[in-house]
Structures are given as structure tokens and as C-alpha cells.
Amino acid sequence: MADVSSKEATSRVAVAKGCITMNEKAFHAVLEGVVKKGDVLGVARVAGIMAAKRTAELIPLCHTLSVDACSVELTPLPNTLAVEACCTVKTFGKTGVEMEALTGVSIALLTIYDMCKPIDHDMIIGNVRLWKKTGGKSGQ
């Protein structure tokens, strides 16, 4: 685990994004709310937030952080039959929240996959990346 004991606490924000592409039948089922397991986007949003808050339990050597704010936005992209996930995490602390934002996006997308797999086993999760960060030495 990295030693952050001598670092200054600052306001820190991380934004991560990713996408899941699916077939037309699955995409329309998500939009129309007819997936058997329920409200795909609502469940995925909550799953992403829950995962971001528990990142230190999932990733070895990751600091346990106080998450002061977390949001997951899910945007359907009809032209590509995809859903984009965007997770924003905020804290005031000695280390950043990049891993929390990336975990939130990843779990939101995996939740969509899980809920839609009876319709489409060929969905593709991709382009998961850190979009933006502020705070700390490298993100001022």
C-alpha cells in the first residue's frame, strides 16, 4: 500500500467512462423497460455507486476512502446500440478516487451485461478509462 501519511488532504474528483454495445433487441428491451430482471439502467446505476463505495474491499492495496459524493450516469447511444456509463466520485483526502470511479463504471457495465445476457451473449464492454481527475499533485 502506498504511504500517503505525509500528503496534504485536498478536494479530489475522478470521472471514469466506459461503454457496452449490444444487439438491437437487447438495446430496445433496455430502453422499453422489458428486461425480465427489471429496470436495467436503474439497477446498474445503484450497483455502480455501491461498487465505488466498496472499492478497497475489491482491489488489494487500495486505500479505504471516505466517498463524499458518487454518481453514475447511463446514456443510451442509439446510433451505436450502446450504453455509455460515466461515474463521478468526490472526496476530501490524501489520495485520489480514480480507482473508485473506474470500479463504479466497470460494475455498472457488468450489471447491464448480467441483466441482458438472456437476450444477447455477444455484448461488448469496452473503452473503460479515466476521463478526468482533479486534486492532488498531478490533477490540480
Which candidate in 3, 39, 114, 122 is catalytic?
Answer: 114
Q: For residue 92, which of 3, 2, 5, 13 has the smallest C-alpha distance?
A: 13
120 among known catalytic residues: no
Q: For residue 17, which of 69, 96, 75 has the smallest C-alpha distance?
A: 75
Measured between alpha carbons, how far is residue 15 from residues 3, 18, 47, 89, 99 in Å?
24, 11, 17, 7, 10
Residue with the three cell numbers 447511463: 74
Angle 3-7-49 (CA atoms, 0-180°, nearest 5)? Answer: 80
Residues taking part in catalysis: 114
